[in-house]
Amino acid sequence: MLVFSKQKLVFLSVPKTGTTAWQAALGDKASMIIADPPELKHSPVFRYNRFFRPALEKFIGGNLTVMAVMREPISWLGSWYRYRQRPFLDGRANSTAGIDFDAFVRDYMRGQTPAHANVGAQSKFLEPTRNGTAVTHLFRYEDQAGLLGFLEERLGCRIEVERRNASAAEPLALEPDTEERLRRKFAPDFALWEGIGPAGRYRPIPRASL
């Protein structure tokens, strides 16, 4: 998570959406960098509301712009799957070594999700709180130009972004039945991503739908 006090801007770090690269690119411009532990770096809206928002509003004022990036849901799962293929996880419960992507997604949809597929959901990360705290600007990971343009205009500077911590690209495929089940079970994620428009405008998913 990054905080820019003068611009009254908070950049929440949704996992697997290029957060490491943006942190490197924007770190010298930020007033506050939450890089560790991961539970705080990747604070979802509810955690931001509980632990960070009250202090930020007290010291830099209200009407904060809260932005985040969301990845197309299947691509997002693919990034998690590739990341957990890395050798440093071999032998651990969260490794996906020896598991194909379709099996990983089917495990992700199980009632008791095994450790290697326990990655949460972007819609839950971005879920508005009961007091109305919500992301005000949500960008598609796939629209890097739009995201960059927004940040350069808001921060008033040119930004250079290098790709970091990226997993090796390899073809990933789902069986039609698996994809159909995924789209049905995690419909809020697909609806949220599909509802993102230009300049970060989007339609938040009501809590009752999540």
Burial (CB count <10 Å: 0-12, 13-18, 19+), residue 141 = buried
What is the average pLDDT score of the chain?
Answer: 93
Return the pLDDT at 163.
73
Packed helices 73-83 and 176-185: angle between N→C axes, nearest 10 degrees: 110
Q: What pLDDT, on a 0 to 100 scale, did the predictor assign at position 209?
A: 53
Q: What is the mean pLDDT of residues 127-151?
A: 95
Q: How far is CA 3 from CA 10, 28, 144, 180, in A?
A: 5, 11, 20, 38
Classify residue 68 by its DSSP letter.
E
Q: Residue 168 has what pLDDT?
A: 57
Q: Which of 1, 21, 28, 18 is nearest to 155 (CA)?
A: 28
Q: Is 80 exceeded by the pLDDT of residue 169?
A: no
**What is 101-163 written as a DSSP string?**
HHHHHHHHTSSS--GGG----HHHHTPPPTT----SEEEETT-HHHHHHHHHHHHTS------
- Provide the 3-class DSSP secondary structure of residue 186: coil
**What's the pLDDT band for 43 if we cut at 50, 70, 90?**
very high
Structure tokens at 32: 């506050």
Residue 210 has pLDDT above 80, yes or no: no
Q: What is the mean pLDDT of residues 180-203?
A: 94
Instruction: State the pLDDT at residue 95.
Output: 97
**What pLDDT score does 183 carry?**
98
Average pLDDT over residues 70-85: 97
Predicted local distance difference test score (pLDDT) of residue 80? 97
Q: Which residue has the higher pLDDT, 135 or 208?
A: 135
Whole-number Å distance between alpha carbons of 74 and 190: 9
What's the token pair of residue 36? 């560790």
Report how far Cα 114 is from the mean position of its chain's Cα atoms: 21
CA-derived radius of gyration, the chain: 17
Per-residue exposure over 30-57, b if at least 16 CB sit within 10 Å of its own CB, e if not: beeebeeeeeebbbbbbbbbeebbeebe
Tell me the three state secondary structure of residue 33: strand
Question: Average pLDDT, stretch 42-47?
Answer: 97
Whole-number percent of the chain with pLDDT over 90? 88
- Mean pLDDT for 193-206 is 88
Asked whether the predicted pLDDT for residue 164 surpasses 70, the reply is no
